[in-house]
Amino acid sequence: MSQAIEIRRRRRWFGGREGAQKRFVAGVTLPAIAFMLVFSLLPIVWAFALAFFDFSPRRAGTPFLGLGGNNPFVGLEHFRQMLDTSTGQSVQVSQFHTALKVTLAFAFLVVPLNLAITLPLAAMIESVHERVKPVFRTVFFLPVLASSVGVAIIWVFVLHPQNGLLNGIIRAFTGKTTQIGWITDARLVFLGIPVALIAVIVAYLWQDIGYNLVIFIAALQAIPQSVKDAARVDGASAWQTFRHITLPLLMPTILLTSILTMISAFQVFDLFQVMTDGGPQDQTRALSLDIYQEAFRFQKMGWAAAVSVVLFALVFVISLAQTRLLRSRWEY
């Protein structure tokens, strides 16, 4: 009896149509899983391991992955140094603190600004004639398709102190030679935020709003018209309909886009590197750039790995907090 059950089990797994399907799925997914293990999971594990070593590729360690020896195990020393806020802290610690502040400021400015722009814009696009909607969607989505490096180069040109478009427009209006260093003058601050950081935010928003826009448009289209008609019959104005009907029903989408935008904002690298390279005076030195420079310019891989662990933890915690705060019980 048990042998018969075993034979049936084997036939279920390996024989017949079911077996063929399972083999097909395994055959298709195995390369992808192997790919992910080698090129995604393994680097993450390696980064976590490096965070506990004072590792530099310049130094030859032990034969075991180069760890140990001249690249000694330091345990939590990197993380302890990150908590050092004394005046005698090392330059890499002070740059880490600066990068942390810049990254948090960038992310917490970009997300609400992005939503504040894309949500009303999506609502406006949804209100126009059907034939015109694709035009607006395309126009706003085009920057998303552009290379970030290309976008950064364009904005560097726009903001160039001598040949830039922005100063040229100011010059045309004022008739005076204008050489404002939008991304090079550390003295320029607006509402306590360095103008150079604002410039990167503007460039990022310019490229990114199209992405959330199409998501919101799709979400708005999914809201049943009957719900809005019922509200209108009850005497609700357009604003009241939006405030009490549309917005709550969009909460799941808002949660999704805010999490995605936040995660993306924490990882922005190319805009920072090409537009400002962390300057002026580290005012745009984001964590991603800090990790890159510490790892590849100053060859402090262990420290850079520790910073990347901190960045990972930050994104994880904030995403979790967002999920808790913005979860919605509204359904339709």
Which parts of this chain interact with another protein (CB under 8 A)?
Answer: 20, 24, 27-28, 31-32, 34-35, 38-39, 57-60, 66, 88, 90-92, 160-162, 176-179, 181, 184-187, 276-277, 279-282, 296-299
* Smallest separation (angstroms) from another protein to the CB of 273: 10
Comparing CB distances to another protein, the nearer of 208 and 282 is 282
Joined tokens for residue 7: 């034979």
Q: Virtual CA dihedral for 24, 30, 35, 38, nearest 10 degrees?
A: 180
**How far from 313 is each of 27, 44, 153, 316, CA to CA, in Å?**
34, 13, 31, 5
* Smallest separation (angstroms) from another protein to the CB of 186: 6
Judge residue 214's burial from the number of C-beta atoms within 10 Å of its C-beta, 0-12 exposed, 13-18 middle, 19 or more buried: middle
* Smallest separation (angstroms) from another protein to the CB of 196: 11
* Smallest separation (angstroms) from another protein to the CB of 302: 13
Comparing CB distances to another protein, the nearer of 50 and 125 is 50
Comparing CB distances to another protein, the nearer of 77 and 126 is 77
* Smallest separation (angstroms) from another protein to the CB of 208: 24
Helices (H), 146-193: 148-158, 165-174
Residue type, position 75, single letter:
G
Radius of gyration of the chain from Cα atoms?
26
DSSP 252-284: HHHHHHHHHHHHHHHT--HHHHHHTTT-STTTT
Judge residue 128's burial from the number of C-beta atoms within 10 Å of its C-beta, 0-12 exposed, 13-18 middle, 19 or more buried: exposed
* Smallest separation (angstroms) from another protein to the CB of 55: 10
Comparing CB distances to another protein, the nearer of 131 and 187 is 187
Comparing CB distances to another protein, the nearer of 81 and 319 is 81
Comparing CB distances to another protein, the nearer of 140 and 303 is 303
